[in-house]
Amino acid sequence: MRLFAKLWLAALATLVAAPAWAQHGGANTLVVGVQESGTVQWEIETIVANGLASKHGLELEIRPLADSRAGQIALQAGEVDVILSDFVWVTIQRSQGNKVTMVPHSLAVGGLMVAPDSGITKVEDLKGKRIAVAGGPVDKSWVTLQAYYNSVTGAKLVDDVSANYGAPPLVNELLANGGTDAALNFWQWNARAKVAGAIELLSVADMLSALGVSEQPPLLGWTFTDETAKNKKAAIVAFLDASFEAKDLLLNDDSAWPPLQSLMGAEGDDALFAQLRDDYRAGIVTGYNPTKMGAAKEAFALMAEYGGSELVGEDSKLDPGTFWRGYRK
């Protein structure tokens, strides 16, 4: 039976905001909201297929979500206990009084892609070119590229290029058919572009490193409310233990991957399957210490400087409660 065979049809507009812990079974039960099109499915399927939730004494319910925004609404409405979100959103919520917190899930980031014959060999070559960007004007990777371009050239990237914003598949299509000179896309779509012959000129991780961020920060994390962390701590810890065990399998056991090939959208395409697997592995988080999240603070300050309040809200510093102190790995 496919993991997402049962669709969750929720009318979010009518949800009653109530504590998630009060709505979802006993102390050892968690409802995890998962974006149907997201790569997070690969870890969740690994947890389910290997019985890792029950191994850690956890009853796990998976609820499909249409997109990340639906997950954020569902979490705030108390309809799910845990979602995947990013540390910028978490710290913005905390600054607004919505106490959510997170534990890192992935280090994977996108990058700047070019065609082999583009003539673009360094970031300075972008001047006068067209660039397609997945997301909008305040996409985190786009803001990072602007900061990096400014550090290298002293100029503003938005003044030097023609930027078009669109969905990831469209960005890849534009790169493939010559409709753009360069593309800034999410890592899983870049994997597809690589298989099609494109070259990653510069990863977002490389940009952050050049800008002085000490190490790759975990952009995405398992996110839950402070209230859930307090009232269902054992269940949260059990879920995180299962999550890290699944990560270890995906990082070190090749046999964990073939059952995921169809879910990855790579059925019948072994080259794409291998590229997605290897790029996913490069972003796997292998440990967590909430007292050593300096890279996230550095990255947040950078985004505040170049993205402003439209990206990070009114605070220019990462909220100290962004990363949950109730767990270490």
pLDDT tens-digit profile of 176-208? 999 999 999 999 999 999 999 999 999 999 999
Closest CA to 307 of 112, 138, 119, 180: 138
pLDDT at 62: 95
What is the pTM assigned to this prediction?
0.89
**Given this model, what pLDDT does residue 4 score?**
40
Judge whether 12-107+217-312 and 111-210 match in fold.
Answer: yes
Of 3.40.190.10, 3.40.50.300, 3.40.50.2300, 3.30.950.10, which CATH number belongs to 12-107+217-312?
Answer: 3.40.190.10
CA–CA dist 53, 82 (Å, integer): 14
- Residues of the chain whose pLDDT is less than 70? 1-26
pLDDT of residue 25: 56
User: Which helix (H) or strand (E) is 164 found in, with range?
Assistant: strand 162-166
CATH architecture, range 111-210: 3-Layer(aba) Sandwich (3.40)
Q: Residue 242: how many CB atoms within 10 A of its CB?
A: 26
Per-residue pLDDT at 313: 86
For 85-142, the pLDDT digits (tens) are 999 999 999 999 999 999 999 999 999 999 999 999 999 999 999 999 998 898 999 9
* Residue ranges of domains in the chain: 12-107+217-312, 111-210
CA 205 to chain centre: 13
At 14 the pLDDT is 28
